[in-house]
Amino acid sequence: MTRLFNEPADFADEMIEGFVAANRAHVRRVQGGVVRSTRSAPGSVAVVIGGGSGHYPAFGGIVGQGLASGAAMGNLFASPSADQVHSVGTAANNGGGVLLSYGNYAGDVLNFNQAQARLNAEGIETRTVVVTDDVSSASVAEKAKRRGIAGDLTVFKAAAAAAEAGYSMDEVERVAILANERTRSFGVAFGGCTLPGADAPLFTVPEGRMAVGLGIHGEPGIGETDVPTADELAELFVSTLLKELPDGIDTVAGNRIGLILNGLGSVKYEELFVVYRRVAALLEDAGLEIIDPEVGELVTSFDMAGASLTLFWLDDELERFWRAPADTAAYRKGSVNPADQLDESEFHDAVAATAAVVPGSEASQQSAAVVQAALDALVAVIDDNADELGRIDAVAGDGDHGIGMQRGSHAAQSAARDALEAGAGVETLLAHAADAWADKAGGTSGALWGVALRAVGSALGDTDKPTTASVAAGAQAATDGIKTFGAQVGDKTMVDALVPFSETLAAEAAAGATLAAAWSTAADAATTAAAATADLLPKMGRARPHAEKSLGTPDAGAHSFGLIVHAIAAVLTAEEGEK
């Protein structure tokens, strides 16, 4: 378990602060993460990676010459926000554009895509290659849905070495896509990880058993088996990965491979070497030549007891990049020509400016006070249910929904209060709350609630007093915005509760109901729909590979939405009763 921490909510920020202080020859901190402290060739492509914290040396530990130009670092096991990715991308840009690369998780996709759109709109050419190496998380037919685990490193290194060699954006992107296509990984676990402040691991494995096919965020495996010997685990790793050859490779024998035998936290180097002894023999017996194998901790998950094997099928170009020198805080290979340190004045720290509050009308300011009370109620209900939300999420996901909702809602509450004291109307107050929630929470929930709050605020404005009809229009705008991310009713997501809420609110508004009455009726519909998600199989997000495990348990996002709208109903009812 994680023993050394101060406030759990501050762990990620304090970890990054200490990491930078210990590695100033390699990195500097910028808003949202870290960038190289050394000079890169002007006009070169910047490879910006990222994901949640808790996976050291991924992601900040592999920023430096020959590897990443920068890393966006989110909260523990939560994707960085779009603002964080945008900030790191801006700071890392050398004039040749930015290639974003990260593991294929829903929250990362949402936030990195938003950042990419912003960077391109600002004239910084930005493209993306997501990593999909985990063979356990989807079939060959749906390999684009696979998640990224330890194979992140092969893609990041190939792309970064190509950029270091002076390749154009088109060519760096081509190399990254090829590296991803030629990378396959498979992992196991003997026990889950425990986050700072938690009193139990995110998941457990029965004594004497091993979870098969796990993810790096604490997602449970897709199956279990008895704990094998080291040699038996090596045989499982190798036989699983040799069953699926990348496109363009017809036979095993005669090929060259890069290799990563990765420890996830508490399976240490000595054990890994025992396993690698048999892995190497099996691969060589199959006619493969192993090039520069990496055995150690490359992508961890706090103290998770587990390991994974990654095979990287090489051609001449990919072998050159796999062998290429690199010098980072946590990963070194060969010898680089030392680059000059950048002067502090040369760092482009894209700190997001807080928009000034333009006072709203008197009527909108009065309504903003009600919205603030609603946010206070929202925070209280999330705090009361955070542990339960984490438990629900851990059934088939990574168990961080409660923590993420707490981080986001508290940030929104604080930002909204500051805006209210400055005279904000409803739209401005909700815009400040939306930005704070999205930035502090990160992850899928951060992106979705940021979109939702901003959409509602835009519909209500800073001038008029909200009506049942305008609030219903805001709820519909929020629904439309969230659905653009791909989720539909029946996918077992927050959308399953949001759509009936929005539809019921609109129907009640059309029937002439007061806002409190209409909202209460809509909240009941949302709660009923959220409970019904227990009968659904997830089709999106981290829970999708473990679909059957989630039967009988509601979706955490839908459940938290139901709790929130019911808490707000009480505020609106009390407000209406005072008039």
pLDDT digits (tens, 9 = 90+) for 113-159: 999 999 999 999 999 999 999 999 889 999 999 999 999 999 999 99
pLDDT band at 537 (very low <50, low <70, confident <90, very high): confident
Q: Which helix (H) or strand (E) is 504 found in, with range?
A: helix 495-510
* pLDDT digit string, tens, across residues 309-345: 999 999 999 999 999 999 999 999 999 999 999 988 7
Question: Per-residue pLDDT for 547 more than 60?
Answer: no
Q: Are 310 and 395 members of one domain?
A: no
Q: How confident is the model at residue 220 (pLDDT cuts 50, 70, 90)?
A: low
Tell me: do 389 and 510 sit in the same domain.
Answer: yes
For residue 25, which amino acid is it? A
Provide the mean pLDDT of the chain. 93
29 and 126 together in one domain: yes
**pLDDT confidence of residue 136:** 92
At 106 the pLDDT is 87
Between CA 224 and CA 227, with CA 226 as vertex, the angle to 5 degrees is: 110
Do 458 and 524 share a domain, yes or no?
A: yes
What 8-state DSSP symbol labels residue 245? P
Residues 400 and 542 in one domain: yes
475 inside domain: yes
Q: Is 48 left (phi over 0), alpha (psi -120 to 50) or beta?
A: beta
| Same domain membership, residue 517 and residue 415 | yes
pLDDT greater than 60 at residue 352: no
Q: What angle do CA 484, 486, 491 make, to 5 degrees?
A: 135
The reported pLDDT for the residue numbered 179 is 98
Domain end (from 275, 294, 324): 324
User: Where is the domain boundary, 306, 324, 342?
Assistant: 324
Query: Residue 359: its pLDDT value, please?
Result: 95
Taking the mean position of all CA atoms in its chain, how far away is CA 141? Answer: 24
CA distance 430 to 47: 34
Distance CA 126, CA 173 (A): 10
In this predicted structure, the answer to whether residue 74 has a pLDDT above a threshold of 60 is yes
25 part of a folded domain: yes
Say if residue 293 is in the same domain as residue 190.
Answer: yes
pLDDT at residue 401, as a whole number: 87
548 in a domain, yes or no?
yes
565 occurs within a structural domain: yes
Asked if the structure places residue 127 within a domain, the reply is yes
pLDDT-based confidence at 441, cuts 50/70/90? Answer: confident
Question: Does residue 391 sit in the same domain as residue 459?
Answer: yes
- Decide if 343 is inside a domain: no
Q: Report residue 545's pLDDT band, with 50, 70 and 90 as the boundaries.
A: low
Residue with tokens 């496109």: 247
Do the domain assignments include residue 138?
A: no
Q: Note the pLDDT of residue 121.
A: 97
Among 112, 98, 44, residue whose Cα is nearest residue 70: 98
Q: In what order do the strands lie in the sheet with 326-328?
A: 64-65, 326-328, 332-333
CA distance 422 to 179: 51
Q: How confident is the model at residue 350 (pLDDT cuts 50, 70, 90)?
A: low
* pLDDT at 548 exceeding the cut of 70: no
Per the structure, the complete domain to which residue 45 belongs is given by 1-131
Nearest residue to 203 via CA among 393, 54, 405:
393
> What pLDDT digit, counting tens, does each position of 373-426 carry?
999 999 999 999 998 998 888 776 667 788 889 999 999 999 999 999 999 999
Confidence at residue 194, expressed as pLDDT on a 0 to 100 scale: 84
Distance CA 27, CA 73 (A): 13
| Backbone dihedral angles phi then psi of residue 429, each to the nearest 5 degrees | -60, -45
| Same domain as 385, residue 304 | no
Residues 6+ apart with CB under 8 A from 139: none
Decide which of 262, 297, 324 is a domain's last residue: 324
DSSP assignment string, 61-126: GGBEETSBSEEEEEEETSPPPHHHHHHHHHHH--SS-EEEEEE--HHHHHHHHHHHHHHHHTT--E
Whether 374 and 485 map to the same domain: the answer is yes
266-304 pLDDT, tens digit each = 999 999 999 999 999 999 999 999 999 999 999 999 999
CATH of the domain at 66: 3.40.50.10440
How confident is the model at residue 354, as a pLDDT? 59
Confidence (pLDDT) at 425 = 97
User: pLDDT tens digits for 446-464?
Assistant: 999 999 999 999 999 999 9
**With left for phi above 0 and alpha for psi between -120 and 50, is residue 166 left, alpha or beta?**
left
Same domain as 562, residue 496:
yes
How many separate domains does the chain show?
3
CA R_g for the chain = 24
Cα 457 to chain center, whole Å?
26
**Is 217 one of the annotated active-site residues of the chain?**
yes
- Which tokens belong to 298? 């490359």
Establish if 22 belongs to a structural domain: yes
**97-118 per-position pLDDT tens digit:** 999 999 999 889 999 999 999 9
Element (H, E) at 559: helix 556-577
The CATH number of the domain where 181 resides is what? Answer: 3.30.1180.20
Query: Is pLDDT at 346 greater than 80 in this prediction?
Result: no
**Which is catalytic among the residues 217, 401, 410, 546?**
217
pLDDT in the model for residue 527: 97
Confidence of residue 541 (pLDDT cuts 50, 70, 90): low
Same domain, 296 and 390: no
Tell how strand 305-314 and strand 256-263 pair up.
Answer: antiparallel
pLDDT at position 223 is 86
Q: Domain with 506 in it: what CATH number?
A: 1.25.40.340
Is residue 221 pLDDT above 80, yes or no? no
